[in-house]
Structure 1
């Protein structure tokens, strides 16, 4: 359990940092991309307003309005662009390629005709050399299309993205390594508190056994002198009940102290049949029915005594809370693909419709709110079952269908 807390701490902290990095880097890249696109759009608009050229005749006030007061007019001459003009019949009547040298005239004509035929006023096209943003303007029966090499403008955004990814991944890896190194120290108070709690339960249990033994001996002596009475019988029942509670608490504490069970391949079907047969007479004597469907020769990776204890806990719980005249069912059947096998132990329980199934595996939880002693138990068995299933790397759950409560334990079968 402590290792799971440690791994969860590392996992959640890493996920939190990942979200922060993604948000931060994504925001920077997003802002950079938006500004680059705005810059491309502004340059294209200025080109169209000046017949596809950037020269000394450009309206300086308009340039500053679009790029901001700190923008230098000389910066406009850094862009690589070209333009193509068509008449109303779709014939090319002009071309300006004086501000770009990497694109031949034939390619410029081809790109211009492609955009003219598409009818799109704004967009981008790719050639062998680079990617170009374009914008068209129809005026006086002529259509002018200006193309701007956007690779230079987008290069800074791409560099920010690459650097951000490298720094983000490096930071995430380093942070995770640091977390792994210090996580033991971080959760040390939890480890100590959990250890002290288990030690307290174990030590208190052993200390309580001594006075209980004395009380039981004194009660037996009293019965030898005066014979059995209502009071001595009640004393004996309560002493036995308290002894079972202490034994269960000690068993649960010891189970949590064991860091790892000796798991091996076990004959699960055979063990389940053995446990079911031991409860058969008890269930039938209490005027209840037992329905069994156990597939043979199913093996799982677990611990033999622990798996037997798991079966006994589920069967005992099903018999204890089964309605009078109801049915206890045991099913152990693999799925069609033989990827998992599920142990389903159910019992009819008419009052279980509004039960809080999320609390069934908590210690001392009992669905009987009145804590009626007619239902013998302390709410520890299912908590022990959950611990065992977790140690076997399985999954346990509970569901309610057609006035029947089912406890489902899923394993991976061993072929």
Structure 2
């Protein structure tokens, strides 16, 4: 349990850092991208308004007004752009490529025709791996002007920022993970100590309680020998048995959390389940419940035979206690459809289980019968918690589901065949 808590602490802390890093880096990249798009649109607008030129006096004045504090006359020469003017009849194209060297006039003519075929007046077009933003406008003289702007330089800062952010984020995550692993045990030390004290208290209290219970039991037996059995002595014996059973369950649960040394060996689950069924048949019959079971022979899994038998007993006892009156208990041992896992299913009639939160069934001391007044269902809410711990110790999983008036507990183990 301590290791699971430590792993959970590391996972949650790491997830929190990842969310923070993604938020910070994502915000920075988004802001940079917004500025880059804004700059691209501003330069395209200036180019379209001044016949594809930025170096003229009028273009400089317009740029100063439009860009404001971002205006720098020298920086206007960093942009790479070209333009094309299409005659009114569409037969001739006038090309200006004086501000770019990597795109030939023939390529510009082809790009112009491609843009003309598009319905959008703004967009992005790629040529030889470079993205060019374009804007198409219709002039007063009937001509169509198209300006193209190489936006790779504009978005370079955004790309560099994103790459740097990812690298720094990964480095930060690795360093944080290292520090977290080294310090996690210390961080949850109070929880570990509290858990250890709780286990010690349960164990010590259990042994201390057994002594007075033994005395009460002995006194009750002596009273019966002297004065005969009565309803009071019977009640005393029942309560002593009930408390002894509860103490044993609590001590078992504490020991399971410490992951005891299990004697894992190859077992036949069908054989072990049959033994438990044979011992429970009389109890189930006394409760007026029917028992139906189907056990597939020849399956193999790795488990401790004693603890596996205890697991089956817990599930059968739970099914018998919480089965509807005159209901049916189902037991099934089979392989899954892929043959990779052995499934142990124990179910019982449970008509009112449609809207029940089954995740709580594995919590310690949880009982769906919140009144605790049902004598027939005299459990303590510990059995299923013990069952879940047993399954985890066998490297398996335990789940619960309800369908058509029947609740099923399914334990899945890795098959050895």
Aligned to 1:189: 190
In 2, Cα distance between equivalents of 1:293 and 1:180: 47
Q: CA deviation at 1:56?
A: 3.0
Equivalent pairs counted in the alignment come to 415
In 2, Cα distance between equivalents of 1:129 and 1:251: 68
> Residue 63 and residue 184 in structure 1: after superposition, are their counterparts in 2 closer, same or farther (change >3 A)?
same
Structure 2-normalised TM-score?
0.93
Q: CA deviation at 1:311?
A: 0.5
Would the aligned equivalents of 1:103 and 1:129 in 2 still touch at CA under 8 Å?
no
> Residue 370 and residue 206 in structure 1: after superposition, are their counterparts in 2 closer, same or farther (change >3 A)?
closer
Deviation track 1:313-347 (CA, whole Å, cap 9, x = no partner) reads 11111122223322111112223222434322112
> Residue 58 and residue 269 in structure 1: after superposition, are their counterparts in 2 closer, same or farther (change >3 A)?
farther
Q: CA deviation at 1:79?
A: 0.9
Aligned to 2:385: 383
Would the aligned equivalents of 2:48 and 2:147 in 1 still touch at CA under 8 Å?
yes
Q: Give 1:14-413 correspondences, 5 Å limit.
A: 14-128=14-128, 130-139=130-139, 140-258=141-259, 261-353=262-354, 355-368=356-369, 369-413=371-415
Deviation track 1:126-174 (CA, whole Å, cap 9, x = no partner) reads 2226322111111122111111111111111111111111001111111
> Residue 121 and residue 356 in structure 1: after superposition, are their counterparts in 2 closer, same or farther (change >3 A)?
closer
Q: CA deviation at 1:353?
A: 4.7
SS in 1 for 2:253: helix
Structure 1-normalised TM-score?
0.94
Q: CA deviation at 1:68?
A: 2.0
In 2, Cα distance between equivalents of 1:382 and 1:219: 32
Aligned to 2:10: 10
Would the aligned equivalents of 1:102 and 1:129 in 2 still touch at CA under 8 Å?
no
In 1, Cα distance between equivalents of 2:353 and 2:116: 72
In 1, Cα distance between equivalents of 2:68 and 2:126: 30
In 1, Cα distance between equivalents of 2:239 and 2:206: 16
Q: Which runs of 4+ in 1 moved over 6 A?
A: none
Q: CA deviation at 1:185?
A: 0.5
Structure 2: 5+ residue stretches without partners: none
Higher mean displacement: 312-321 or 282-291 = 282-291
In 2, Cα distance between equivalents of 1:267 and 1:158: 61
Would the aligned equivalents of 1:345 and 1:407 in 2 still touch at CA under 8 Å?
yes
Deviation track 1:284-316 (CA, whole Å, cap 9, x = no partner) reads 344321111121122223322221111011111
In 2, Cα distance between equivalents of 1:336 and 1:350: 28
Would the aligned equivalents of 2:295 and 2:332 in 1 still touch at CA under 8 Å?
yes
In 1, Cα distance between equivalents of 2:156 and 2:333: 62
Q: CA deviation at 1:236?
A: 2.0
Q: CA RMSD in A?
A: 2.0
